[in-house]
């Protein structure tokens, strides 16, 4: 199992491409079509699924092109379907991106808390972490945790979005104390971290546990 990442698209979203021994590849939060296609081609990868951490427009910016090119399913929590499919709720309109056709996708594969998703030799566990959005999720594979806009290095996601809920976010943050300190945190924006670093230094996580 290996991982490639880059920041792309209008929100400088971290896109992660995780691939297994047979080069099957899972794309988390596709932000830039050209970069993804170049990396897939250069590494001879075989995209098999898109996993979304949540439905905001910057995290799905390249979805239309990627689905069109590779004809692969996308996975999203059921409570974020209303967000990803609305150019108002996903914030594309307010940022001036008015092409609504970008957000017309085929039906998603709906996921729930504790789901286990297997692709080739890769197994992802779903952790529902509502707050930034109602259907925000993290994905765990081995000692890595992809946290979207729920948890960043040193801070957490904003709660002034449509359907955001600060109390729910604070409840979600308690779940991170379950993980080993050496779990690597790969957020939706910015630098990577570890659970140990965040529990010791992130003011939103200190003294918070289940």
Q: Tokens for 21? A: 């021994």
Q: Tokens for 90? A: 């996903």
| Distance from C-alpha of 92 to C-alpha of 102, rounded to nearest angstrom | 10
**Candidate list 32, 80, 149, 198; residue touching Fe ion; CB under 5 A:** 149
Using the contact rule CB under 5 A, the part of the chain among 49-57, 67-75, 102-110, 139-147 near Fe ion is 49-57
Q: How far is the CB of 132 from Fe ion (least distance, A)?
A: 6
- Distance in Å from the first CA to the final CA of the chain: 31
Q: How far is the CB of 118 from Fe ion (least distance, A)?
A: 27
Best CA proximity match to 133, nearest among 144, 147, 117, 123: 147
| Distance from C-alpha of 193 to C-alpha of 190, rounded to nearest angstrom | 10
Using the contact rule CB under 5 A, the part of the chain among 102-110, 146-154, 168-176, 200-208 near Fe ion is 146-154
**Candidate list 35, 56, 102, 189; residue touching Fe ion; CB under 5 A:** 56
Using the contact rule CB under 5 A, the part of the chain among 16-24, 40-48, 54-62, 172-180 near Fe ion is 54-62
| Distance from C-alpha of 71 to C-alpha of 65, rounded to nearest angstrom | 10
Q: How far is the CB of 38 from Fe ion (least distance, A)?
A: 25
- Contacts with Fe ion, residue ranges (CB under 5 A): 56, 149
């Amino acid at each position: 199992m290996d991982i490639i990442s880059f920041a792309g698209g209008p929100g400088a979203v971290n896109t992660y491409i995780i691939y297994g021994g047979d080069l099957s590849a899972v794309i988390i939060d596709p932000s830039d079509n050209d970069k993804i296609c170049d990396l897939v081609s250069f590494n001879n990868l075989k995209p098999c699924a898109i996993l979304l951490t949540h439905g905001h427009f910057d995290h799905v910016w390249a979805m239309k092109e990627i689905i069109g090119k590779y004809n692969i399913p996308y996975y999203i929590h059921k409570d974020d379907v209303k967000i990803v499919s609305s150019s108002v709720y996903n914030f594309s309109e307010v940022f001036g991106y008015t092409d609504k056709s970008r957000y017309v996708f085929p039906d998603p594969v709906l996921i729930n808390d504790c789901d286990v998703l297997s692709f080739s030799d890769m197994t992802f566990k779903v952790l529902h972490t509502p707050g930034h959005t109602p259907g925000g999720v993290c994905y765990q594979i081995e000692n890595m945790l992809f946290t979207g806009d729920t948890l960043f290095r040193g801070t957490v996601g904003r709660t002034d979005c449509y359907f955001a809920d600060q109390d729910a976010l604070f409840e979600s943050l308690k779940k991170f104390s379950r993980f080993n300190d050496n779990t690597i945190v790969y957020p939706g924006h910015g630098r990577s971290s570890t659970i140990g670093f965040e529990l010791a230094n992130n003011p939103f996580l200190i003294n918070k546990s289940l």
